[in-house]
Amino acid sequence: MSGPAYSSTPVGWREWVGMPGIGLPWLKAKIDTGARTSSLHAADVEEFDRDGQPWVRFTVHPWQDSDDDARVLECPVHDRRSVRSSSGHVTKRYVVRLDLSLAGRTVPAEVTLSKRDRMGFRMLVGREALRQGYVVDPSRSYAGGKPPKDVRRRNRGR
Q: How many CB atoms lie within 10 A of CB 90?
A: 9
pLDDT value at position 141?
Answer: 95
Size (the chain), residues: 158
* Per-residue model confidence (pLDDT) at position 132: 95
Characterize 124-145 residue by residue with b for buried, 16 or more Cβ atoms within 10 angstroms of its Cβ, and e for exposed: bbbbbbbebbbebeeeeebbbe
pTM of the full predicted structure?
0.88
Distance CA 141, CA 137 (A): 8
Q: What DSSP designation does 114 have?
A: E
Beta strand spans in 20-145 (E): 24-31, 38-41, 43-50, 53-60, 71-76, 79-84, 90-102, 105-114, 123-125, 134-136
The predicted pLDDT at position 9 comes to: 95
What pLDDT score was predicted for residue 20? 92
Per-residue pLDDT of the chain (158 residues; tens, 9 = 90+): 444 556 689 999 999 999 999 888 889 999 999 999 999 999 999 999 999 999 999 999 888 777 778 899 999 999 999 887 777 888 899 999 999 999 999 999 999 998 866 667 889 999 999 999 999 999 999 999 988 888 888 777 65
Can you tell me the distance from the alpha carbon of 38 to that of 127, in angstroms, rounded to the nearest whole number?
A: 8
